[in-house]
Amino acid sequence: MTILSVGEASPAVQGTNEVVAKQTNCALSLGDLQTEQKNDKTATIDSISSLDLCRIINEEDATVAQAVETCLPLVADAIDIIVPRLLAGGRVIYTGAGTSGRLGILDASEIPPTFSAPPGQFLGLIAGGDYAIRNAVEGAEDSEDQGAADLSKLTPALGKNDTLIGIAASGRTPYVLGGLKYARSVGSATVGVACVRPSAFRTFCDVLIECVTGAEVVTGSTRLKAGTATKMILNMISTGSQIRLGKTYGNLMVDLKISNEKLRDRARRVVRMAVPSSSVIDVTQDDVLDTVLAQCEDNVKLSILVATIGCSPEEGRSQLEAASGLLGAALNGN
């Protein structure tokens, strides 16, 4: 999919704009959405054994990855508009209501410890505020104005280097629509994640991922297949963007933050896997490895560079900075 500039619509979108415009705030009435249809395959789940019930749910879940696979080019497009904005100091903000909002907050909260991302680089907003993370605040999703207002309160203000990812299984949640409209008005990039097609997001997104997961096991319960698809897509967007920023070396998590004993153990294993046997410093010895980590202030990427080529931590920091944080380039002297 070609990335669209603000205000531009793709041919596919242009063909549906007239239909969407005739609706209120939604591309379709709620009852018409794919996620709201009755699933004939699960019609008897209240009268079968627990094992058979689990089998049916598992069979339905197995279709989610196939639905996500059809959206991979669009997920890649989202990564490609996010990365340059992150490099320019921008942020990724997730906005959603209910399950969608909670999934955004979950993904955003896991990026700093996994990749040592700067605080605030990934943010999650949910209709109803922090209280809604653990409690249902169902009416909060009905206000477009509140979706815009919550974004307007961000510090620093939302801008051209930021990307807003609006999440709604229905593709029509007013709170999310209000946020997307506001983001476009201030020049931010916009990405939509929905589980229906067509969605009301179509006129407000630079990249729109409409992952159709179909009727739910329990009719309308989008925390199930739609929620699973949403989590998979958000995982790919955030992980993919961090990989593109050099937060991994191969598939090793070299920018993890050592914040507990589990992560310290993982950091030791990562250093040992990344440092070749021909390295200047032998990190197979626990005391030597821990000394290197301590000298590098628990910076795993820096520890790998120091152990491999034998430079000082200060020299290693300079080399990593010159390589834009890419460990492979620093090790190759580029």
Q: Which residues are catalytic?
A: 110, 141
* Contact call for residues 271 and 282 (beta carbons, < 8 A): no
Token output for 167: 């999440």
Separation between Cα atoms, residue 265 and residue 88, nearest integer Å? 33
| Residue 147 contacts residue 104 (beta carbons within 8 Å) | no
C-alpha 226/C-alpha 223 separation (Å) is 6
109 to 106, 121, 261, 312: CA distances (angstroms): 5, 10, 19, 33
Which residues, 6+ apart, have CB-to-CB distance to 112 below 8 Å?
Answer: 118, 119, 121, 122, 257
Tell me the HSE value of 266 on the side-chain side, using a 13 A CA sphere.
14
Helix and strand element counts for the chain (H, E): 13, 7
Query: Do residues 273 and 287 lie in contact, with contact meaning Cβ atoms separated by under 8 Å?
Result: no
- Residues sharing a CB contact under 8 Å with residue 125, sequence separation 6 or more, in sequence order: 93, 94, 95, 96, 101, 104, 105, 150, 151, 179
